[in-house]
């Protein structure tokens, strides 16, 4: 996730999580901490607009 904003679905796909719900837990706990930033915009992978997570680390 090096600077590319990703939606929950793509994060779940990248992390190979079994459900989007788990990804939401990961992303919500990650947002605001550890260089993760939650913002609105198109996903860098699927292009879907919406809340995405970007890693600034
Ligand atoms: Zn996506």
User: Residue ranges per domain, the chain?
Assistant: 8-55
Question: What distance in angstroms lies between residue 48's CA and the mean position of ligand 1's atoms?
Answer: 6
Counting residues of the chain whose pLDDT is more than 70, the rounded percentage is 63
For residue 44, pLDDT over 90 is answered with yes
Counting residues of the chain whose pLDDT is more than 90, the rounded percentage is 26
Q: How many angstroms separate the first and last alpha carbons of the chain?
A: 9
Is residue 40 a contact partner of residue 4, using CB atoms and an 8 Å limit?
A: no
Question: What distance in angstroms lies between residue 10's CA and the mean position of ligand 1's atoms?
Answer: 4
Question: What is the pTM (predicted TM-score) of this model?
Answer: 0.63
Question: What distance in angstroms lies between residue 33's CA and the mean position of ligand 1's atoms?
Answer: 21
Question: What distance in angstroms lies between residue 47's CA and the mean position of ligand 1's atoms?
Answer: 6
Secondary structure tally for the chain: helices H, strands E: 2, 2
């Amino acid at each position: 996730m090096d600077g590319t904003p990703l939606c929950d679905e793509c994060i779940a796909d990248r992390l190979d999580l079994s459900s989007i719900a788990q990804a939401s837990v990961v992303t919500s706990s990650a947002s605001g901490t550890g260089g993760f930033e939650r913002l609105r915009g198109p996903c860098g992978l699927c292009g879907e607009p919406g809340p995405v997570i970007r890693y600034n680390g």
